[in-house]
Amino acid sequence: MKSGKRSEAAHRPSVAVVGGGLAGLAAAEALSRSGMLVTLLESRRYLGGRAGSFKEEATGQLFDHCQHVAMGCCTNFLDFCEQTGVAAYFRRERRLHFIDAQGKTYPFAPVEALPAPLHLVPAFWRQSYLTMGERLGIGTALRRMARLSEEQAESLCVGPWLRMQKQSADVIRRFWEIILVSALGDSIEKTSVAAARKVMIDGFLAHHHAADLHLPAAPLGQIYEEGIARSLFDRGVRIEMESPVDEVFRKSVGGGFSVSVKDEATLQFENVVLAIPGRRVKAVLSPRLFEKVPDLARVDQINHAPITSVHLWFEKPITDLPHAVLLDRTSQWLFAHGAATSPHDGQSAAYYYQVVISASHDLPSGDQAAIIAAVTRELAELWPIAASPLFARVLTQKAAVFSAVPGLEAIRPPQSTPVTGLFLAGDWTKTGWPATMEGAIRSGRLAAEALLRRYGREEKLVTPDLPHTWLCRKLFR
């Protein structure tokens, strides 16, 4: 045993993490923490993948492609932030603000003195845009949803199921859709009851802090560059930007893998963690390797949904609220980002806001002017000053999230593969979570756990879920 430990200490297995999104960053962080020799290869000039930033040319400022929000139930994302020293970049908020079509604001905040799930009952009861009967009906539907078997929940589509529970069109639009479309990124006519249950129970009801919002107080690109990349570098991780991988194939002699990087020499590694979108895996793995991983055969059946963000700069603040949930509108969320320089001339002081529209299938494709006009019209109905932004920009990520349809779990592959030394990471792999930053971080850590098992090391790198309170278990199990 002693000589085995000496041998392990003398040799640090090499790992190529292909992809610098959150899944790849999480795998690199966990493996470097466990003593592996890690090289991270990212094809683009910036880290973060879909959860990244862009630089506005007129001002040189960084802005996120789309507003990303973590919740208190995202235990692995929050721990990852602690491990990489960037937790201070996020601010926690416990109060939501729902605004109806008439402009009335309904605050939604937990009651500290009450145990979960009762901590949200007073806030829910104040949402008087729903009738008392509708609120009682929502509670009944939640209990029925929680008590479905895994097989039932995974086989059912949430929209039709809600109608079977006598949920009216108004209730579905004003309660279920406003939460689930934002959380899951796609229409409730497509997503599964299992995915909806994950959001409603684990994301809101199970624990006092499950629904806390954790909002980045700086652009994600700045957080990656100043915090996460520096933390990984200090641990010995080699980060190669603008290094697109053309192919991963088995070495013909000595085992391990050859990783062909475009316009560079082929690199050699004992292990590879492929942390790229599922739709790209077949193009990167050699045909022989791809054939040896049967779990990848149906990955191309995973569908995706778009998310559109409308970036707006105003001469003055349009509201004092830090964020708002907008009812009965195309615009779903508004986020305030404070003072910034307006891109319209690169020098004027302005106030920057972002409107997020998930599952934006029905927005006019390619017609930025129409989208901006529709969004500013909706905002101006609530805040007249919003009628005339100094500058506006629309960004749509066409494959922002995978669609959590019924039966999806049978398609998502595990992080380990039959090929020794080859592992998968990405929110599309089997994590038990929908397409979220939390799911991406979990996948990277699960891949790291699987890799360490290759060397006889049973290490738990995944942070446990928040515990369900006894009352939540009693009411919803």
Binding-site residue ranges for FAD: 245
> The tokens of 50 are what?
């879909």
CA–CA dist 204, 180 (Å, integer): 12
Max CA separation in the chain (angstroms): 74
Give the burial string for 74-87 (b: 16+ CB within 10 Å, else e). bbbbbbbbebbebe
Give the burial string for 361-383 (b: 16+ CB within 10 Å, else e). eebeeeeeeebbebbbebbeebb
Quick one: which of 69, 358, 67, 107 has its CA closest to 213? 69
Binding-site residue ranges: 245
Please report where in the chains the tokens 């971080």 appear, as a residue. Answer: 441
For residues 141 and 128, the answer to whether their CB atoms sit within 8 Å is no
Pairing of strands 37-41, 238-240: parallel
Give the burial string for 444-462 (b: 16+ CB within 10 Å, else e). bbbbbbbbbeeeeeeeebb
Give Cα 318 distance to the centre of its chain: 28
Concatenated DSSP letters of 67-109: ---EETT-HHHHHHHHHTT-GGGEEEE--EEEE-TT--EEEE-
CA–CA dist 450, 438 (Å, integer): 18
CA–CA dist 282, 308 (Å, integer): 28
For residues 275 and 19, the answer to whether their CB atoms sit within 8 Å is yes
CA atoms within 13 A on the CB side of 464: 3
Quick one: which of 432, 397, 398, 402 has its CA closest to 414? 432
Quick one: which of 427, 417, 399, 423 has its CA closest to 23? 427
Provide the phi-psi class of 84: left if phi over 0, else alpha when psi is between -120 and 50, else beta: alpha
Rounded to the nearest 10 degrees, what angle do helices 437-454 and 75-83 cross at?
70
Sign of the Cα torsion 417, 419, 420, 426 reads: negative
Please report where in the chains the tokens 């683009």 appear, as a residue. Answer: 44
